[in-house]
Amino acid sequence: MEKLKYALFTGCTAKQSTPEQMMSTMAVAKKLGIELVELTEASCCGASHLQDYDDFLSLVLNARNIAYAEKHGLTMVTICNTCQLNTAMTKHRLDENPELKAKVNEKLAEVGLEYKGTSEIVHFLYAIIDDIGLDKIKEMVVKPLSEFNIAPFYGCHNIRPSELHKKDNPYRPTSLDDLIIACGGKNVDYEEKNKCCGFHVELQAPKTAAILTGNAIAGAMDGNADMMVTPCPLCHLKLDTQTGHASEAIGRDVELPVLHMQQMVGLALGCDLEELGLQHHLVEVNFI
């Protein structure tokens, strides 16, 4: 089989507040035999906030990022739900609207680039499920996570709006559950698994954000989870670093180790704990 190769849009968090996200992505890609070409030219996607201020600028910047993936002739892989949403939304809007695409390309031409619409944009979660396959991953597992109840936390921007993403049904997503099972773990079903973590209102509505985070962790705990797992570094930041505020907001001590999706796969595939960056978590992952 030809080696899988993608253009990697790391997003900003993987290089700053969730370094373990970057480390585990590279470690898992190596194990799975995937080649990742990092788009070092890429800018921030605007994180679903820039477009509130300047929609056109947000489109131009995201189109520029995609144009670099197109230059490589590769599918763009994202490792953050919000990067996925913003980039895929830009692609969707430009592909649907030739007039808008022309306007954006007029700007990109100033720096010698063009958005063509030739690269697909896929979150790493779906890339490994669709292109490697759950059966293959299962075969490669050397340390099955069979002792653990693992609560999937999907994150909004990878499943909604479903019109854009089309991979999981937002009311009954299964991808992450299936991946947990492939890694040998037991998936925990709980009401909050497809709900909002509150990340995007943390600054302006801290109480709302903390309650949403608290409810998510509490739901997983009540489902008897040993840990949570998420494909989104922004959800991870909420669930891992904001447990103090979350506990205070819902009046109950909530805390669970939270793995990035890549860390979970990496553990099952036998990667070193160090190279998965588990030492960077605030809630200690001390049972592995």
C-alpha span between 277 and 259 (Å, rounded) = 10
3-state secondary structure of 80: coil
Tokens of 24: 């585990």
Choose between 75 and 241: whose C-beta lies nearer to another protein: 241
Closest C-alpha among 186, 200, 190, 176 to residue 49: 200
3-state secondary structure of 53: helix
Sheet with strand 76-78: strands edge to edge: 34-38, 4-9, 76-78, 121-123
CB of 216 to another protein, least distance (A): 10
Residue type at position 285: V
Choose between 2 and 53: whose C-beta lies nearer to another protein: 53
- The answer to the question of residue 170 lying near another protein (CB under 8 A) is yes
CB of 187 to another protein, least distance (A): 16
- The answer to the question of residue 207 lying near another protein (CB under 8 A) is yes
* Candidates 107-115, 133-141, 217-225, 260-268; binding stretch for another protein (CB under 8 A): 107-115
Among 7, 151, 179, 212, the residue binding another protein under the rule CB under 8 A is 212
- The answer to the question of residue 252 lying near another protein (CB under 8 A) is no
Choose between 61 and 145: whose C-beta lies nearer to another protein: 61
Q: Treating both helix axes as pointing N-terminal to C-terminal, what angle do 55-72 and 98-109 enclose, rounded to 10 degrees?
A: 80
E-assigned strand segments in 83-177: 121-123, 149-152
Closest C-alpha among 116, 32, 36, 33 to residue 70: 116
Choose between 50 and 140: whose C-beta lies nearer to another protein: 50
Contact residues: another protein, CB under 8 A: 12-13, 15-19, 40-44, 46-57, 60-61, 64, 107-108, 110-111, 113, 156-157, 160-162, 169-172, 191, 195-196, 198, 200-201, 203-205, 207-209, 211-212, 241-242, 244-245, 279-282
